[in-house]
Structures are given as structure tokens and as C-alpha cells.
Amino acid sequence: MSDLFETLTLRDTEIPNRVMVSPMCQYSCEARDGLATEWHRQHLESRAVGGAGLVMSEATAVEARGRISPEDLGIWSDEHRDALEPITEFVREQGAVPGIQLAHAGRKASKSRPWEGSEPVAPADGGWDVVGPSGNPWPYEDEPPTTTRLSTSEIEEVVDSFRAAARRAEEAGFEVAEVHGAHGYLLHQFLSPVTNDRTDEYGGSFENRTRLIREVTAAVREVWPDDKPVFVRLSATDWLPEQESWDIENTVALASALSELGADLIDVSGGGITPESHPERSGPNYQVEYAERVKENSDAAVGAVGGITEPAQADALIRNGRADLAILGREHLRDPYFTLHAARELDATERVDVPAQYERAFR
């Protein structure tokens, strides 16, 4: 029996297998209004048809200035909620669990799409003024735009934005809400001493730097149904060993605190706080060691990401207790039907719902 095709029950939500589609930005709201488009529907729905147990949306901005690019997805109004509802309905019809990643880009916001250079977009060109824990901007090669330090009252508004977004996400039919605290975006910016030089209750000590993500997680948990799980994605390390930065020891401590606040799974990734924040190595399972550390020292379930590309590899992660979910990003771009192919390779086709239209190819 393949462990990859064992169900995972978190609260009362049953994920039919241990494959999760990683949140992957599509930068495809061409109208720059944050509303889900046909592209988003195709992207997410095809992965549900492909058998993944949990289909997670891309980083979905809780307020307009929280988008990475003007073309990013959002959920800051009821109109955004309504545009997402047909996607969750279809994903559930395929037997998968729909999830949404709630995000705010902070100082990494208002930039052009990766294939357009990831350069700052000025307000005159459809961008906006960006915010962060401190006034230090993202270090673009050319002159960076001004970053405005959030006041304590504005921080409260950010927390409220996450709370309101979670409420809309539940109304749209999502069954998992993930708080994005990784990859150098706003919540990670507060966590890391590299980007947080505040001296108030949101800066300095570990307790203070983790205050915002704890408040956001509590706010999401407050409005999210008790029978549905909350995830938190963390960068386990800044990969900046030569300076004071966020590291795996910090992540382990924070994971325990988030678990006590009602987080059910920690989605363990890494990096992103500066352009120099890169791993020493890449390749298969290159971040799994961080997931293992969190799993060994926390009551929360754990998702592992990074260089997971083969069915047997993903199965081994679950079988050996290194993670509870195998989270695949790029491999799902290459193969939307990864899970169906994995079921056939691992002799577990009876454990996955193959659409009747596709049965002749996978049975």
C-alpha cells in the first residue's frame, strides 16, 4: 500500500491523499483588478482533475496594496469572493480539497511580472506605494522606491484585512486557509531581523518580531470554521548565515507557538528575504530537513516542499514520517496529472478518483 495515497484528516477535513499543489503565482489578472480569470480556473481545476488531494491557490492578496504585481489575484472584496466560488465548487466535485493562501507582499509589492523583469511599478503606471515593518526597501539594482513603515494602527488594519479575507474565503467555499509567512513577504519581513529594525512591540525580540504573524494566525483562526484547518507557510531560514537573520531554530519555536494558536499544519519552505537569500544546494528534497525539524518539535502536521518530483520520492517522505504532505510546485506545472501518474506507478489506482472521462488512460 502506498503511503502517499493514505488520507490525511485535519480537524473534520479529510484530504484524500498526501499530494498538495503548491501555491504558485500566475500573474494573470490582466485587468489588474485581482479577479480570478479563466486562466486561474484552468490552472487550479486541472490539478484537481489530475488527482491532487489538496489544491492550493496562489498567494491571494488580502488588500490591493498587498499584491506582488498588479496582475495578482486578490480577495479584498465580495466581488473577488464571487469570482473564486466556481473554482472551489469544481475542485470539490473532483474529490479534491480547495485551499487558499492569504498573503500580503509588503515591500516586495508593486513590481512587474517575472517575465517582464520584476522591476518596480510606479503609481503612475498602475503600481502603488509599498509598506513594510521598516523603511528599508527591497534592494533593486536601480534606485528602489520608497517603503513606508507601517504604524501600529496600520498593522491592526493589516490584521483586520487577513480576518476579512479569511471570512470571504470560507464563504467562497475554500476548506483550507493558509497564512503566507514566507518568501520575504510582509509577515516574513516582520519575522526577520534583516528587514525589521523596529523598536516597538513589533520589533527587536523574538516575541515582538513574531507578534504580527501570531496575531494574523489568531485572527484567521477566529473566523475560520472550527472543523476546517488553518495552515501557515514559513521560510525555515533566510539562508544568510553570515548575518543575524531568521533561522531554523526560530522557525521551530514559532511553529510551536502557532500550533497553540490553532494552526494545524506548518508548510515549511525557505528563503526570499533578500536577493542573496539562496540555499547552499538544490536538488531532490533540498528543504525536507527543515520540515523534519519542525515535525520533530511541534504538535502541528507538516508539509515538505522543494525538489519533490518523483512518485516514489514523495511516497517515501510520507512513509518515513518526514512530512505529512508532499507539496509539489514546478512538477505540477510540468504535469497537472502527477497524482494520477503516481497512483499508476505506485500501484494505487484504486485509491484515487480518476474522472470517468480519463479512466481508459489510468486504469
Catalytic positions, written as ranges = 185
Instruction: Please name the residue that has the C-alpha cell 513589533.
Output: 202
Helix (H) or strand (E) holding 2: none
For residue 290, which of 56, 280, 133 has the smallest C-alpha distance?
280
DSSP 328: E
Give the C-alpha distances (Å, rounded to integers) separating 5 from 116, 151, 268.
39, 47, 21
Cα 71 from Cα 196, distance rounded (Å) = 27
Instruction: Strands of the chain (E only): list them.
Output: 8-10, 13-15, 19-21, 54-61, 97-103, 130-132, 147-149, 176-181, 230-235, 265-269, 301-305, 325-328
Largest CA distance in the chain: 63
Helix (H) or strand (E) holding 37: none
- Contact between residue 220 and residue 230 where contact means Cβ atoms under 8 Å apart: yes
Give the C-alpha distances (Å, rounded to integers) separating 31 from 35, 78, 116, 131, 170.
8, 17, 16, 23, 25
